[in-house]
Amino acid sequence: MDHSNDNARTPNPKDRLAVALDLPDALQAFDLVNRLGDTCRWFKVGMELYYAAGNSFVQQLRDRGFNVFLDLKLHDIPNTVAGAVRSATQAGASLLTVHASGGFAMLSAAAEAAAIPGAPRLLAVTVLTSMDANELSGIGVAGTPAQQVLRLAKLAQAAGIDGMVCSAEEVNTLRTEMGSQTMLVIPGIRPAGAATQDQRRIATPATAIVQGASMLVVGRPITRAADPAAAASAILEEIAQASASPRLRA
């Protein structure tokens, strides 16, 4: 798959949606994968499932023809993170997250470890979508989430990482500041009328796409739907329609 996600062309909607398999074990995860059928191409495997099922689960998804977004939010000393990137490469992940707040040396080590054939494309997590200004203040970060997101995104880009995870509130600014080649992955996506749950900075699929998102991550609105395949199809249709709209400018 071409990871450039260049907004100069219109990608297939299935390449712009990752379904979050936020489930406790491989059995439940594969049950959902089977219910989705060929609706989706990308699955996000986060810490809960990865710690339960490990690399073998990632490899099984790959063997079935799916792309895997391994969302481990690596944040450790540079040498340890570099080793984790190499392990993810062996598992066959196509995308892998690291925390931008780990600093320049850690991000650079991760980027160097990913500069080999077959390595996953790295995404730097900026500010979690569950955090707002009060949460940031509580950990000593002054300013708004948008300011912190831009600060960390520029740090990650300088360290050699050209993909970011941010909320839909910041995607328009990052797309303008960082150009069309930067991959911007947006969690906290909720279709109109869906419950927000524990997310603070959210948006509909159409809003995020029009503002410049490369890929959307959707969990509970699909995984907890009575008909997950139908829910995914509705989001894919919304992505397709929004992809034909002009992007909003900052």
Ordered by start, the domain boundaries in the chain are: 13-243
Alpha-carbon gap, residue 97 to 131, rounded angstroms: 18
What is the residue type of 15?
D
What is the residue type of 71?
D
Instruction: Give the pLDDT confidence score for residue 191 in this predicted structure.
Output: 78
Instruction: Give the pLDDT confidence score for residue 12 in this predicted structure.
Output: 93
Instruction: Give the pLDDT confidence score for residue 140 in this predicted structure.
Output: 87
| pLDDT beneath 70, residues of the chain | 1-10, 192-202, 246-250
CA distances for 134 relative to 66, 139, 145, 197, 239, angstroms: 38, 9, 9, 18, 32
Q: What is the pLDDT of residues 143-185, one digit of tens each?
A: 888 899 999 999 999 999 989 999 888 999 999 999 999 999 9
* CB-based contact 248:210 (threshold 8 Å): yes
Considering only CA atoms, which of 17, 42, 49, 32 is closest in space to residue 224? 32
Instruction: Give the pLDDT confidence score for residue 200 in this predicted structure.
Output: 52
Alpha-carbon gap, residue 59 to 87, rounded angstroms: 12
The residues carrying an active-site annotation are 73
Instruction: Give the pLDDT confidence score for residue 79 in this predicted structure.
Output: 98
Instruction: Give the pLDDT confidence score for residue 192 in this predicted structure.
Output: 61
Alpha-carbon gap, residue 97 to 122, rounded angstroms: 6
Q: What pTM was computed for the model?
A: 0.88
CA 47 from chain centre, in angstroms, equals: 13
Instruction: Give the pLDDT confidence score for residue 3 in this predicted structure.
Output: 45
Instruction: Give the pLDDT confidence score for residue 223 in this predicted structure.
Output: 94
- What is the CATH class of 13-243? alpha beta
